[in-house]
Structure 1
Amino acid sequence: MIDIKTIDFKKGDGLVPAIIQDAFSLKVLMLGYMNEEALEKTMTEKKVTFWSRTKNRLWTKGEASGNFLHLIDIKLDCDQDALLISVKPQGAVCHTGADTCWDESNTSKTAFIDQLRAVIKDRKNNPSDTSYTASLFKKGINKVAQKVGEEAVEIVIEAKDDNKELFMGEAADLLFHYLVLLEAKGYELDEVVDELIERHQK
């Protein structure tokens, strides 16, 4: 988390803009304003609180609707006068009932893949004896590739049945081990995406 003392509240007469972003989809959800008290309450209670310019008081998002914004992280911009706040939203964010204040859908969680990739990379660079992922890297590329093959066969088998729970479990296993394989090879998922983009443009 950030140090409140580093924030320049003076530029905005005691307020700084707070951009609210979904931590998993990276979708921008809303914009609010915080004074020092609102930020302190947000950091203490782990629920986003603003200074309401219309109510002229502290306002915790969701205090009436129950649609709270659960705090994940806070970043300060380069000018030290604006906040980027990552949250896990509980319900709709906009008072209109929309997912965002720009009436956009916020259903995708694919940005979580980048967080998972970062964890996998860390397990490779900073292995521990208790990490399953680190144990895969330790066994070498052949073992990692073998696991991808095994998971691919298992998802094909589950695809022939109608058990969604089992299929999703195998799908998650396959995706995870595929990401581990990419890291073991020293390749980035972005390179795969670039290949798909190039094919799409042809």
Structure 2
Amino acid sequence: MNIFSGPAEADWSKGEGMLPAVVQDASTLEVLMLGYMTREALEQTISEGKVTFFSRSKNRLWTKGESSGNFLLLKDLYLDCDRDTILIKADPIGPTCHTGNRSCFDTPYNQNFVFELERIIEDRYTNPAEGSYVNKLRNKGLNKIAQKVGEEGVETVIAALAETDEDFINEASDLVFHLSVLLREKGRSWKDVALNLEKRHR
């Protein structure tokens, strides 16, 4: 977990002692909501591990999910370069928005669903479900999982060269899914791939 050196590091002289805090899904990187924090809210967030804001309408500290149960579990905290905006990475328990939407910004789709898919696959590994395709693959072992990635790769190439765009997208989706399972089987993640691509880019 990354936590900057503590509340004293933030510049509380701005915003009358209240700083904006952007909440991002720690797994998918989707922006979930914006709230405001006082020093006390930040201290409580760090000590309890649940994201707590200062509610301007209630004029008190407010832990997200205190009534709904849809908590935001703290994973990481960052300050921006001016030390007057907080970035929170959290694991959401249920929808973040009071409307029932995944994000308060109600984007039309989860732009980083590949990471959400990775989380679903991890859940299938941790909590095996009868009839789950992921578990059927897992039970067949590494060789079969790797073979499926090869098969889907070939089918993606064929679709790109000789089939419709819809067929191509379907096959590419199958390829990404099976590669995600293979990464989990090998104990790796899309984060490892992203870090390696970034390193190559440099």
TM range (shorter): 0.5 to 0.7
Question: Quick one: which of 39, 56, 66 aligns to 2:42?
Answer: 39
Output the CA distance in 1 between the equivalents of 2:41 and 2:70: 18
Letter of the 1:83 counterpart: I
Q: Which runs of 5+ in 1 are unaligned?
A: 115-147, 158-168, 195-202
Counterpart in the other structure of 1:68: 71
Output the CA distance in 2 between the equivalents of 1:56 and 1:95: 19
Output the CA distance in 1 between the equivalents of 2:52 and 2:101: 20
Q: Which runs of 5+ in 2 are unaligned?
A: 119-141, 152-176
Kindly report the root-mean-square deviation, in angstroms, between the aligned alpha carbons of the 2 structures.
3.7
Output the CA distance in 1 between the equivalents of 2:180 and 2:104: 32
Counterpart in the other structure of 1:101: 104
Counterpart in the other structure of 2:182: 174
Equivalent residue pairs, number: 145
Change in 2 beyond 3 A, CA 1:4/1:191: closer
- How many percent identity over aligned positions? 45
Note the alpha carbon deviations across 1:44-98, whole angstroms, 9 max, x for none. 1000000000100000000010000000000000000000000000011111111
Letter of the 2:19 counterpart: V
- Is 1:88 aligned with 2:75? no
Q: What are the equivalent positions in structure 2 for 1:1-202 lying under 5 Å apart? A: 1-2=3-4, 3-104=6-107, 105-106=109-110, 108-111=112-115, 151-153=145-147, 172=180, 174-175=182-183, 188-189=196-197
TM-score, normalisation: structure 1: 0.60
Output the CA distance in 1 between the equivalents of 2:70 and 2:96: 7
Q: Runs (4+) of structure 1 moved beyond 2 Å?
A: 104-114, 148-157, 169-177, 187-192
CA-CA distance at 1:43 after TM superposition? 0.3
Output the CA distance in 1 between the equivalents of 2:33 and 2:199: 32
